[in-house]
Amino acid sequence: MPQNRQIVLDSRPTAEASTANFKLVTAGTPALQDGQVLVRHHYLSLDPYMRGRMNEGKSYAQPQPLGQVMIGATVGEVVESRHPKYAAGDQVTGMGGWQEYSVVDAGQPGALRKVDTTHVPLSHYLGAVGMPGVTAWYGLVKLIEPKAGQTVVVSAASGAVGSAVGVLAKVRGARAVGIAGGPDKCRYVTDELGFDACIDYKQHKDAQSLSKALKEACPDGIDGHFENVGGMVLDAVMLRANAFSRIAMCGMIAGYDGQPIPMAHPQLILTNRMRIEGFIVSEHMEVWPDALKELGTLVGTGKLRPRESVAQGLEAAPEAFLGMLKGRNFGKQLVKLV
């Protein structure tokens, strides 16, 4: 059995996370038991939710234990199998974590899933045709429920989740407006993803300025908003929200370092009879088959063209993860392990 390099959480951040919170270790890979498979990871997913797991405070999931492999989704190839449904060479996705190999109890529901790379590249099963894509699908379809002609805004629009939100909204006949950081990301959002408009939040120093730009991009107001950021962005959107608008609260990356995130105009929730709902996509497994089918078709037909930022090698994961939290990535952040 091969030697396995792993990254473990070595300490909890006191404020901003740093590379010192992680540790690279090498461990042996245990021999397979009946029902288990050995997977060689090709790509590792880096996602904002991981920052919250590093903390010890109350959240929707248990904290990442110290001294254990960092949680994370992976795609790769079965190297050896002692399970009848899997064979060497099968391409699979699972929650293998920040390591080069994983031993998986393949009989556990949801532990491992075979993927077809005929029309969808393997790496996209960690992004547009994986958890981020299903997150976009659930928040848009089940919570925002856009009708043709309505306006949907999404923050972090060039990212793995945001890009899918806009494309899914356009398919349903809605007007899609993105908020992203920098001219390159905004060009990608409009030119390659087909959004109707994209606002560069870096050009706006406060919520009032950003809200003015939203008024120009959304002349009929905002009917639905998919929130990945919070803070100034949410304040600006609230000022342009229509009566009976819906906000799907997916992420609050503005506060991942533990600072409070004030809301400037909470009274607008009442004034506009708004519905604001937070959600965790892993609590809605019933939608995954339908969501993955639509997302796979959109990617396979070229209607959804995901961008990826790829760091090379396991040791690059901590730096790439911290960069993603600061918006340095363009699209889905991955680590290539093979």
Number of alpha helices (DSSP H) and beta strands (DSSP E) in the chain? 9, 15
Residue 210 pLDDT exceeds 80:
yes
pTM: 0.94
pLDDT in tens, 277-286: 999 999 999 9
Q: Where are the domains of the chain?
A: 3-127+306-336, 131-282
Look up tokens 């994209």; give the residue.
Answer: 198
Indicate whether 10 pLDDT > 90: yes
- State the Cα–Cα distance between residues 300 and 220, nearest whole angstrom: 33
Q: What is the DSSP string of 211-227?
A: HHHHHHH-TT-EEEEEE
Q: Indicate the residue type of 207.
A: A
CA distance 150 to 303: 20
pLDDT per residue as tens digits for the range 151-164: 999 999 999 999 99
CA-to-CA distance for 201 and 183, rounded, in angstroms? 10
Would you state the pLDDT for residue 259? 80
Q: Give the integer Cα–Cα distance in Å for 253 and 116.
A: 32
List the CATH code of the domain at 131-282: 3.40.50.720
- Region 38-58: what's the mean pLDDT? 93
Under CATH, to which class is 3-127+306-336 assigned?
alpha beta
**112 token code pair:** 């491992």
Stretch 257-273: mean pLDDT, rounded? 92
Average pLDDT, the chain: 96
